[in-house]
Amino acid sequence: MARHVVAPVADIAPGGRHVITVGERRIVVFNLGGEFFALSDRCPHQGGSLCQGLLSGHVESPAPGEYVYARRGEMIRCPWHYWEFDIRTGKSWFDPKRVQLRQFQTHVETGAALQEGPYQAETFPVRVEDHYVVVEA
Amino acid sequence: MLAAARPIDCDVHPWLPGTAALHPYLDPFWRDQVVERGIGSLDTQSWPVLSPKSIRADWRDAKGRGADRVELLRAQSLDRLGTDTAILNCLAGVQIQLNQDMAVAFARAVNDWIRAEWLDRDPRLRASIILPTQNIEAAVAEIERLAPDPRFVQVLVLVMGENPLGKRTHWPIFEACVRHRLPLGVHAGSAYRHPQTSVGWTSWYLEEYAANQQAFQSTLASLITEGAFTKFPELRVVFLESGVSWLPSFLWRLSKTWKGVRFEVPWVDRSPFEIVRDQLRLTVQPFDVPTEMVPRLLDQLRGERMLLWASDWPHWQYEGDAALPPGLPEALLPRILRENALETYPRLLQGAMA
């Protein structure tokens, strides 16, 4: 498990997403109101790229005709077949135990900490005074 | 051979010989109306009486009719097969009427004819309540009128009605079904409000008969997506003369697509596969599957509790007394011939009315 610098915090706005490639894996990082969540960008169904999917909320229903809509912007739908995944957990809604996206730990680190290492895959200059999103993968 | 299992036949059809048979059960206004207007028959195009499928050849009288007296049911089916209990599903053209007052009058008369001339004459018989679905309030009232008689064990609608069956306008019927522990029977046939296929009117009887399968698929999808099964978890729906083999492939498509667009129907909070296993039952006549494929079908369906035996008398589904479709595994026969029906129809256990 290595730590990879994804981007400066300011580059992934709330509601935004950012993809990095780690080896042969693509990882998508979402910003939910200042919290960062990293998931495999490969849908477990047929491999669709989730970072290109629709960001939406979660709807449940206590009875037919009633819609309880919450958590706007916290569900990502695969662009291929619209399977929906909870960004906070990586789990699918329809079969959360068996169908889920791999999750990766994220941190926000200061540029000063990053310069001490060990970190990998920086493709941009790291400035001591900024903050960066880091993913463990 | 079947008798040892004390089989319950979930689909037999008493054939209304004509409106004259209903005279004793119609009020004076409608009794005179059928005479004055010359309404002689309630046969419908879903079951043209002289079509070979409608009545097996050796069960017809000299005029080609049949199945219109309880003695015929006894001699041609119950006594020969050793049937323990049979459920009467009369297909007289009640749902097809455009005049809802007439439909209500005919439904009541047909139900009373069934009670007096069939149920009262053989203790092995039970029946479905024919519903005048043209008027939901009247349909519920008909359930309330007949529910005190435990020999009515189900309500009956046609698979092709005025609207998709799951629509919420029908829910008062479902509520009454649950309250009286009556499954909702859905039989092949059309009220002819719409073409019998989703692509238009058919030219041939063959097309129409086969098209019932499409209607069963659409009806099942409607019941699921509208939330009828979710709203009424105790509701049991029985598909009658629906065929069975279409179900796994249709459910595959429905369940697969649900995974992606379930947000559209958030009350469908589990896979349609699971809902169907819990709440849908199907009769096995016709069965629509070659013998060697039966184990595979049953494996796909994973529904050993879902299948109910039916002879479909007097429809021509088999020769001689071979009323059990070939290929059903021996180990499942006690379930299919009897136990599943007892689980599906709780009122069967209430026994005959004193």
At A26-42, the pLDDT tens digits run 999 999 999 999 999 99
**Per the domain annotation, does B324 fall within a domain?**
yes
In single-letter form, the type of residue at position B349 comes to L
**Per the domain annotation, does B112 fall within a domain?**
yes
- CATH 2.102.10.10 assigned to A3-136: yes
> Which residues of chain A approach chain B closer than 8 Å at the C-beta?
56, 59-61, 63-68, 77, 81-84, 92-95
User: Is A67 in contact with B227 (Cβ distance < 8 A)?
Assistant: no
Q: Per-residue DSSP letters for B185-235?
A: EEEEEE-SSS-SBTTB--SSHHHHHHHHHHHHHHHHHHHHHTTHHHH-TT-
User: Is A56 in contact with B263 (Cβ distance < 8 A)?
Assistant: yes
Structure tokens at B179: 């309250």
Print burial letters for B271-284: b (CB count within 10 Å at least 16), e (below 16).
bbbebbbebbbbbb
Residues 284-303 of B with CB under 8 A from A: none
Quick check: B204 contacting A, CB < 8 Å? no
Interface contacts (A, B; CB < 8 Å): 44
User: Is B267 in contact with A64 (Cβ distance < 8 A)?
Assistant: yes
**Per the domain annotation, does B351 fall within a domain?**
no
Residue B183 lies in domain: 3-346
Chain A CB contacts of B271 below 8 Å = 94
Which CATH number covers residue B77?
A: 3.20.20.140
**Per the domain annotation, does B303 fall within a domain?**
yes
Provide the 10 A C-beta neighbour count for residue B270: 14
**Res. B354 pLDDT band, cuts 50 70 90:** very low
**Per the domain annotation, does B353 fall within a domain?**
no
Listed range (B50-54, B200-204, B336-340) with the worst mean pLDDT = B50-54
Domain boundaries, chain A: 3-136
Quick check: B261 contacting A, CB < 8 Å? yes
ipTM of the complex: 0.84
Residue of A61, A81, A92 with shortest CB distance to B266: A61
User: Is A59 in contact with B259 (Cβ distance < 8 A)?
Assistant: no
CA angle B217, B219, B221 (to 5 degrees): 70
Quick check: B226 contacting A, CB < 8 Å? yes
Radius of gyration of chain B (CA): 19
Chain A CB contacts of B223 below 8 Å = none
Chain B CB contacts of A84 below 8 Å = 260, 262-263
At B60-94, the pLDDT tens digits run 999 999 999 999 999 999 999 999 999 999 999 99
Q: How many domains does chain B have?
A: 1
Min Cα distance A100 → chain B (Å) is: 13
What share of chain A in percent tops pLDDT 70? 94
